[in-house]
Structure 1
């Protein structure tokens, strides 16, 4: 895919260290082998080295020897990470015994490596739930300054050029926050705009979606979107954004002109911000299946370092693609 190939090419300019904590998971090992063969990221695998070597041999993987392998039970920075975790969680009453146990957990170890500067990003979730992946991320890496909510964006690439920018749109939030407040929705809109500009390389035109367009319906859920739009403009006055807009008014130029005359976004949106997680999640899955669109992500937004979560049903190529995105995030290119 041209989009992913461009990301891989950018990543090769400034190689970053991406940690894969599920180091014995078969798809993860196959993806690591592909990434190392293509040379767009350094890979750190978490797991017992002998077990990884045996599995790689059985799978006939020829590039795993280029990876750095960290055994959670035996490595030279174990005490460093225990001390770091105690420092970060002392206000929560974490004991040394608990910290010693947690650093054996690959998901905690990965985030501690990032926090300590020993890795640049993480991709996980092939065999762990989103909650398990995000918990140590929230506790250790935390969110960007001024951002209180983490969200998940999908890059949607449609097989025709009818909508968005030559068939590319960005949907959010489709993965994390069930029912954001107006203030949280405003933050999601702003960070999704930044994701769009940096990952997709296109200027964001953000539509704040609702079942109403410019007052055509009155409801507290509409009021939330109107307020979120106002707050987003305050957070980033340079962002091109409008709302509230119905989905057809956001992406179909003739309908946008009819329902929201004078809007610079209506009919031209390439970023769709959904009012709730259920609407975003349902919508991206419908578009993916019914329009045969490529759905890349979710790209987690708002974290202080790039930590991205996979679906447990992911493919090897899904892992490779998300590592390419994560490597670019770590290099400051997204």
Structure 2
């Protein structure tokens, strides 16, 4: 009997939907610590990933044929080994577009309206308004990464009266961007944007992309927002840019390293807002990931391949 592992605790109605979609399969659900190690070598399909059991999943006798990730990014997986074994890989691209876009907007508003300063003063019992809070209306947002998250963010930004610029990797976006270009357009975006938002996946090309040189190309009044991946930013360069006023401030949902060590200088910067990698979280994620997985599962069982969201190993996303 083929085995499917779904590495989340699901309520019984959702478990029943899994069983109905894959009759004749042995299905196990639960957290990575709930499931016994011996199940991993026998699994043909796994939704999620367990670093502790990677040796079992990649064993020469393992039956693994398809991995689906509840996340959009796949940089934490052993991509080269999975490709060599011919394992199909899919992600949950699209599921997180709304919460990530809303979190990005929240970071932008916190910095513009100085809400972060008010929260810090609240803890000190200080009634101390900030100086010259900004409005987003009329400002320019530059979105580096114009996939589903970038397009949703651009849609919201336009509704707020912002000018939207975008840098894309493959396909030029058709909606919600006033201007967009490929990576050659990045320099223009940096020079003209009041908010520069990174939503790129982590690849060899994006690793360390945002460094001192790029921060110097931004307006000194501009803010940098990272909801992509921490290692796409050279952290020491960002710290220096925030300290010396090269840029006005930053909002980070991801960092490098992550989690951030207690003694890291990012904690103490007054022009920085931090959230602990929660941008993609929402009360709707569990069911939306399952819906996407079930759609692919039914197609996989019929055709032996995936219907959508298949990751290209050569692109790393």
Q: Which has the higher helix share?
A: 1
For CA contacts below 8 A with separation 6 or more, give which structure has more relative contact order: 1
Same fold (TM over 0.5): no
Q: State TM-score, norm by structure 1.
A: 0.32
TM-score normalised by length of structure 2: 0.33
